[in-house]
Amino acid sequence: MSFTLPSLSYEYDGLQPYIDAETMHIHHTKHHQGYVNNLNKAIEGTEFENMSIEDILKNVDKASPAIRNNGGGHYNHSLFWKLLSPNGTHPSGDALEGINKKWSSFDKFKEAFSQAAATRFGSGWAWLVVLEDGSFEICSTPNQDNPIMGKDICGVKGFPILGIDVWEHAYYLKYQNRRPEYIEAFFNVIDWNEVNSRLVQSTEYFK
């Protein structure tokens, strides 16, 4: 089995003015495609060859650095594209309920999430995760690591329902060193229906 680059459900210029077309084009066709190609090479002839991408990440402690980095890269970006939409929505449903329960308001959540994303040193991701008991946490990971890789990765073992890529390749053409502006813009293109749908998927993950 080999992994393939998922297509986007919107055009490269669909997220403008918040995320520019050139960044989206390079990010998808060069960066993500690179993770896919390198992952396929790295798993060839190994015990990971026929595993799902989730299973690869869950067993990452047994994997080579190439599998970890490129497997994480493939999973994270596949997730990221689906969380974005030209028609960004307002937080709603069970996701909003979980956010209010933990942070008492959406604004407080947004502040905490933005802080985690802004202060991740170097390249990485910030996440909103749901834990096995249904409660929410925010955490961040370096490189292409992901919360489903294990508890020691993110401080908690949770299933990511929202994530933001804070590698410079995700924002540098438009925002240069102004990562906080990119994080603020990101909130305009989140598809909260997808966040809610991942929340539903999380029950399957914890089974």
| Footprint of Mn ion (CB under 5 A) | 165, 167, 170
One-letter-per-residue 3-state SS of 13-42: CCCCCCCCHHHHHHHHHHHHHHHHHHHHHH
**Residue 99 vs 170, nearer CB to Mn ion:** 170
**Residue 99 vs 126, nearer CB to Mn ion:** 126
Cα–Cα dist 3/35, whole Å: 10
Q: Is the dihedral of CA 28, 34, 35, 36 positive or negative?
A: positive
- Least distance CB 128 / Mn ion (angstroms): 18
Contact 84, 191 (CB under 8 A): yes
Contact 59, 48 (CB under 8 A): yes
- Least distance CB 198 / Mn ion (angstroms): 18
Structure-derived torsion over alpha carbons of residues 40, 41, 42, 46, reported in degrees to the nearest 10: 80
**Residue 134 vs 180, nearer CB to Mn ion:** 180
- Least distance CB 49 / Mn ion (angstroms): 25
**Residue 91 vs 160, nearer CB to Mn ion:** 160
Q: By Cβ distance, which residue is nearest to Mn ion?
A: 165
- Least distance CB 169 / Mn ion (angstroms): 5
